[in-house]
Amino acid sequence: MKINWKGVMPAVTTKFTNKDTLDLEMFAVNIKAQIDAGVHGIILGGTLGEASTLSKEEKRILVRETVKIVEGKVPVISNIAEQTTKEAKQAAHDAKQDGASGLMMLPPMRYKADARETITYFKAVANSTNLPIMVYNNPVDYGIEVTLDMFEELLNECPNIQAVKESTRDISNITRIKNRFGDRLSILCGVDTLALESLLMGAEGWVAGLVCAFPAETVAIYALAKAGKIDEAVAIYRWFLPLLELDINTKLVQNIKLAEVATGIGTENVREPRLPLVGTERASVLDSIQKGVNSRPQLPNYKQYL
């Protein structure tokens, strides 16, 4: 399936049973809720998906199951976050074999590669597959920035590198990318609390986190913003912001899974070493979620703009 790098693409959580196995039943419930809301793609195996705790076979199962669930309605995108180039190339190969339509790629994990090493890594993986690729640029959390000069080299030599998940936290970087590359590189905001601002500055889409619990509200903001219904989009976004801030936190997985429980499309089971929230931390997160649920806005017919 061809990927149009635009719209809302949930970085979905991985569901676990009480016995620490994949909960494919609840996983399907959540994916179907995303599709019903009108998302434009599904991203598997990111930070929110607890990818570092998943075995290779579990990752492959999730891709195959998601492909079955979406039934060709939207592309399935598999995240590549590996320590070696060899492992990353194998992960890209497996993703294609299992039916993924594209890849999201992080720089090398653990080792802080320099610019030459990072470029070589991306080139090697991109040239090993014909799947389209979105580079995840998050120097704040992962310590490696893919600069515009680095993108210049990658785009010149790797036509399947087509998009960036922009998570530098510098909103002006969207304009820099547009000025430098025009439509050659699609931009998807990767920071929930900068999403509307990014869309208004020209980003084509939003790789979202709280969408896992609030899919309709997330897609509504995107659709309304792109349709020029700015006041309506802002009203929903202002309601959403306290919840979106749950994503900008080291415990984002636990936070968002609690929100999924509140909206009936998930469980709070996480895989150790993560543990469920407790005490005042848990109470604070639940309070934010409950306030959001209690004041959930009435949405306009946003699907007419999709």
User: Measured between alpha carbons, how far is 43 from 80 in angstroms, rounded to an integer?
Assistant: 11
Bridge partners for 281 per DSSP: none
Positions in the chain short of pLDDT 70:
none
For residue 2, what pLDDT is reported? 87
User: Measured between alpha carbons, how far is 94 from 98 in angstroms, rounded to an integer?
Assistant: 6
**Computed from CA positions of residues 181, 182, 188, 194, in that sequence, does the dihedral angle turn out positive or negative?**
positive
pTM: 0.97
- Determine the distance from the C-alpha atom of residue 272 to the mean position of all C-alpha atoms in its chain, rounded to a whole number: 22
Domain ranges in the chain are 7-305
Q: What is the pLDDT of residues 147-188, one digit of tens each?
A: 999 999 999 999 999 999 999 999 999 999 999 999 999 999
The reply to whether CATH 3.40.50.300 applies to domain 7-305 is no
Could you tell me the end-to-end alpha-carbon distance of the chain, in angstroms, rounded to an integer?
Answer: 19
